[in-house]
Amino acid sequence: MTALQPPPTIRPNITLMDTFLIDVPMPSMGATVNELTVVKLAIKLGDRVAKGARIGELESDKSIFEFESPCDGTIRAINAQPGDAMASGAVFLQIETSDGSLLHLKSTAGLSAAPAAKVAGGAPAVWTPRATKLAKEAGLDPAAMTDIEATGPGGRVSGDDVERYVQKRSR
C-alpha cells in the first residue's frame, strides 16, 4: 500500500519582491446605497500604508465610517477628494503592493488618476469622478478639454462645470 500524497498547492507565480498595482473600489454598502461621499482623506500620493491603516472617512446616506487599507503598499493614485461622491464599485484609489492574495484586484488599465486638463490660467485641473463621467457621456474627452471653467472645491472640475460647458456648446 502506498500512502496518499497531498495534492500540490497552486500558488500564484509571484515572488515576495514583485509588486503590482491594485484598484481599490469604493465599498458596497447594500442594495440601497449607490454612492458614497469622501469626508476626509488620511493619505496622499506616495504614502506607504499598512494593512488596516486608516485611509479616510466615507459617508453613506446613513452613516460616516472609516475606510481602511486592504494591504501593505504605496498609494499610487487617489481618484476622489473630500466632498466628492463616487459610485459603489468605482476605483477609489490604487495601491502598489506585493500582497498576492489581492491579485483579483490587479489593475488592468494602469494608473487611473483623474485626467488633468489645462483650464483658465493654464494650470492643470483635477476632475471629480462625476465630472469625468458626465463629460464622457456627452462624448467629450476630459483630457483634451482645455477651455472648461473649474469651480468645484479646491479648483476641481465638477459635474456642474461639465453641465454648464455642455449647455454652452449646444447653443
Q: Are residues 128 and 53 part of one domain?
A: no
Quick one: 28 and 91 in the same domain? yes
| Same domain assignment for residues 33 and 64 | yes
Co-location of 92 and 43 in the same domain: yes
Would 34 be classed as within a structural domain?
A: yes
The radius of gyration computed from the CA coordinates of the chain, to the nearest angstrom, equals 20
Residues 6+ apart with CB under 8 A from 73: 19, 22, 48, 49, 95, 96, 97, 98, 99
Q: Which domain holds residue 128?
A: 116-170
Residue 152 covered by a domain: yes
97-123: buried (b, 16+ CB within 10 Å) or exposed (e) per residue? bebeebeebebeeeebebbebebeeee
- Smallest CA-to-CA distance from 24 within 75, 98, 82, 59 is with 75
pLDDT tens, position by position, for the chain (171 residues)? 556 666 555 555 544 458 899 999 998 877 777 788 899 999 998 999 999 999 999 988 778 889 999 999 999 989 888 888 888 888 899 999 999 999 999 987 766 544 444 444 444 567 777 888 888 888 888 877 878 888 776 667 888 888 989 888 877
Same domain, 74 and 125: no
- pTM to 2 decimals? 0.57
| Cell triple for 171 | 447653443
